[in-house]
């Protein structure tokens, strides 16, 4: 069913781009590329892995190498942003190019490479000082370990406690170093989240609701078109790039039809996750972690709007769905 949800999503986005985008040809082509990128990535990985299952292992290797490359790029961007000043803001949205690779790391059989990937992502998350990234990473990893224990029908073992302790210790060491170098920047951001209502997100949400109140009946149904919330904000005197909430963003851009498709995407992913967990699949815990990331980021950030790193999750779901459905009995009962 996930395949058909994504296919319907693709058709709806293309139709809206053709009908609603009345700006320049260049803007139309850019918008069209942005809306079809993620669905096509999902369909591509689904079809390729469905036809040639051995490419699933190749994909894991590819995304591990991509994680290394992304971290090198991320590190140099971080250094560039902070040259000559300990007070410069280390906020980096580039961290999401690493965070959304976490599900790929969790399905790597080799524990050494798996832990290397997790530690790299943890380091990037702490360095970024992004609260959403920190919460998504922490909760998704906890969900992963929880369902892994359920899958193995184990009580909390000493080995697991040591692994969790090691991870917490590594995060604390990185956190302490970054806090020292930035004069308590992360702590100040966490405290300020209660004072500024989540970096002004409540004010942003209220502005989106004001714009939604101006909708015509047709605009409630089919929306205004891809990434048009930013344009309407500027016209209304606000310099806001997005709603910082995918549900509001999709409702404004793609209408009630779009939000229904997006809701079905969430429900289908939840259903598929619990099917895998019920069957004690090795893919159940990583799938649960991937949905945790989607759920958190869809509430407090803008995941769907920025297709470049959302494509990592779409590729993961497409490849995983194809592999588990093509070789169900083997894939759902044995480790890779």
Give per-residue pLDDT as tens, 95-147: 899 999 999 999 999 999 999 999 999 988 888 878 889 889 999 998 998 89
Q: What is the secondary structure of 239-296 as a DSSP string?
A: --S--SSHHHHHHHHHHHHHHHHHHHHHHHHHHHHHHHHHTT-TTHHHHHHHHHHHHH
Let me know if residue 251 belongs to a domain.
Answer: yes
Higher pLDDT, 229 or 328: 229
What is the pTM assigned to this prediction?
0.84
CA count, 13 A, side-chain hemisphere, 103: 29
State the residue for tokens 């971290």.
Answer: 71
* DSSP helix/strand/coil, 70: helix
Distance between CA atoms of 263 and 9, rounded to whole angstroms?
Answer: 11
Let me know if residue 183 belongs to a domain.
Answer: yes
Does the structure show a pLDDT above 90 at 15?
no
Let me know if residue 336 belongs to a domain.
Answer: no
Let me know if residue 103 belongs to a domain.
Answer: yes
Q: Assign 65 a pLDDT band (cuts: 50, 70, 90).
A: very high
In total, how many domains does the chain have? 1
Q: Which domain holds residue 204?
A: 2-331
Return left, alpha or beta for 116; rule: phi > 0 is left, psi -120 to 50 is alpha, else beta: alpha
Let me know if residue 67 belongs to a domain.
Answer: yes
Residues in the chain: 336
Let me know if residue 17 belongs to a domain.
Answer: yes
Let me know if residue 324 belongs to a domain.
Answer: yes
Whole-angstrom CA distances from 224 to 18, 246, 299 are 12, 15, 21
Let me know if residue 191 belongs to a domain.
Answer: yes
Return left, alpha or beta for 84; rule: phi > 0 is left, psi -120 to 50 is alpha, else beta: left
């Amino acid at each position: 069913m996930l395949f058909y949800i994504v296919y319907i999503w693709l058709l709806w986005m293309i139709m809206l781009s053709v009908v609603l985008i009345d700006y320049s040809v260049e803007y139309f082509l850019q918008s069209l590329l942005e809306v079809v990128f993620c669905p096509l990535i999902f369909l591509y990985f689904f079809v390729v892995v469905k036809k040639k299952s051995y490419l699933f292992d190749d994909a894991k290797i590819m995304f591990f190498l991509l994680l290394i490359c992304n971290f090198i790029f991320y590190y140099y961007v971080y250094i560039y942003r902070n040259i000559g000043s300990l007070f410069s803001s280390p906020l980096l949205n580039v961290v999401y190019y690493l965070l959304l690779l976490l599900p790929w790391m969790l399905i790597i059989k080799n524990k050494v490479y798996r832990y290397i990937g997790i530690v790299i992502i943890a380091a990037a998350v702490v360095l970024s000082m992004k609260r959403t990234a920190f919460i998504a990473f922490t909760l998704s990893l906890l969900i992963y370990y929880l369902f892994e224990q359920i899958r193995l029908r184990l009580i909390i073992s000493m080995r697991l406690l040591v692994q969790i302790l090691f991870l917490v210790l590594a995060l604390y060491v990185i956190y302490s170093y970054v806090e020292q170098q930035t004069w308590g920047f992360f702590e100040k951001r966490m405290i300020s989240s209660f004072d500024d209502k989540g970096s002004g997100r409540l004010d942003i949400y209220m502005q989106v609701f004001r714009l939604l109140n101006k909708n015509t009946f047709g605009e409630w149904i089919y929306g205004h078109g891809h990434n048009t919330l930013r344009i309407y904000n500027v016209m209304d005197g606000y310099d806001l790039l997005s709603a910082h909430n995918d549900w509001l963003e999709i409702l404004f851009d793609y209408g009630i039809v779009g939000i229904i498709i997006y809701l079905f995407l969430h429900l289908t992913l939840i259903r598929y996750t619990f099917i895998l967990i019920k069957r004690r699949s090795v893919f159940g815990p990583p799938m649960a972690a991937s949905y945790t990331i989607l759920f958190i980021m869809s509430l407090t950030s803008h995941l769907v709007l920025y297709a470049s790193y959302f494509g990592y999750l779409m590729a993961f779901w497409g490849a995983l769905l194809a592999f588990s459905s093509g070789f169900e009995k083997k894939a759902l009962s044995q480790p890779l």
